[in-house]
């Protein structure tokens, strides 16, 4: 199976190759058509769907879109992540990832319009956190990573597709 992923972020690409080891996986730069920093479950999910559709369009490939965002529950801001898989027949499957709460100081800066990727590098005093362990890695003492979290999401996508095609 040929899969096009709508990102060149290694944490996302490695998650897809991990879950589809038999497939040929390539990446494509596509528009998410949502904000660079999505601010709700709905917007984050839509970003994943838009990326996946753009990847599958005009090819015989499966498209996968993975999108990170944040969302409020009450006055608390959580990290959220969504994935979408679009088949060559244009069937869309979606799944979300685990959520963890973000520290208040990050929430304030996010609402001022800064991107989480940028904020995490400053917070952890590291480079490219979003391409490596991710916020989920930093705030779980590295017991979880962004790649492992996305692997779980992609597994949920693959499983749903397998169930429906069987």
Angle of the 10-19 helix axis to the 146-165 helix axis, nearest 10: 40
Cα torsion 61, 66, 67, 73 to 10°: value is 130
10 lies in the site for ligand ITT, by CB under 6 A: no
102 lies in the site for ligand ITT, by CB under 6 A: no
The single residue among 13, 64, 71, 120 that binds ligand ITT, judged by CB under 6 A, is 120
147 lies in the site for ligand ITT, by CB under 6 A: no
Give, in degrees to the nearest 5, the angle at Cα 83 between 81 and 84: 155
CB nearer to ligand ITT: give 48 or 162: 48
Of the listed pieces 18-26, 56-64, 97-105, 114-122, which binds ligand ITT according to CB under 6 A? 114-122
Answer yes or no: are the C-beta atoms of 44 and 71 closer than 8 Å: yes
Of the listed pieces 52-60, 84-92, 94-102, 111-119, which binds ligand ITT according to CB under 6 A? 111-119
- Report helix, strand or coil for 73: strand
Name the DSSP class of 144.
S
- 5: which strand partners? 27, 64
**What are the distances in angstroms from CA 126 to CA 79, 80, 117, 120, 121?**
19, 21, 11, 8, 5
CB nearer to ligand ITT: give 131 or 155: 131
Q: Which two tokens stand for residue 119?
A: 């904020």
Q: Which residue is nearest to ligand ITT (CB)?
A: 117
Q: Which of residues 12-71 bind ligand ITT (CB under 6 A)?
A: 12, 37, 67-69
The single residue among 10, 23, 117, 124 that binds ligand ITT, judged by CB under 6 A, is 117
Total site size for ligand ITT, rule CB under 6 A = 18
Residues that bind ligand ITT (CB under 6 A): 7, 9, 12, 37, 67-69, 79, 115-117, 120, 129-130, 134-136, 146
């Amino acid at each position: 199976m040929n899969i096009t992923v709508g990102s060149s972020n290694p944490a996302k690409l490695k998650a897809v190759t991990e879950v589809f080891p038999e497939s040929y996986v390539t990446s494509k730069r596509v528009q998410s058509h949502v904000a660079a920093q999505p601010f709700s479950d709905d917007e984050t999910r839509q970003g994943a769907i838009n990326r996946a559709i753009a990847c599958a369009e005009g090819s015989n490939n499966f498209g996968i879109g993975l999108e990170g965002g944040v969302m409020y529950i009450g006055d608390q801001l959580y990290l959220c992540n969504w994935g979408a898989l679009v088949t060559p027949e244009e069937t869309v499957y979606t799944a979300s990832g685990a959520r963890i709460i973000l520290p208040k100081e990050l929430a304030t800066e996010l609402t001022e319009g800064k991107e989480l990727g940028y904020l995490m590098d400053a917070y952890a005093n590291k480079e490219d956190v979003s391409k490596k362990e991710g916020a989920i890695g930093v705030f779980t003492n590295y017991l979880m990573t962004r790649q492992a979290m996305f692997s779980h999401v992609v597994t949920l996508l693959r499983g749903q597709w397998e169930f429906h095609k069987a």
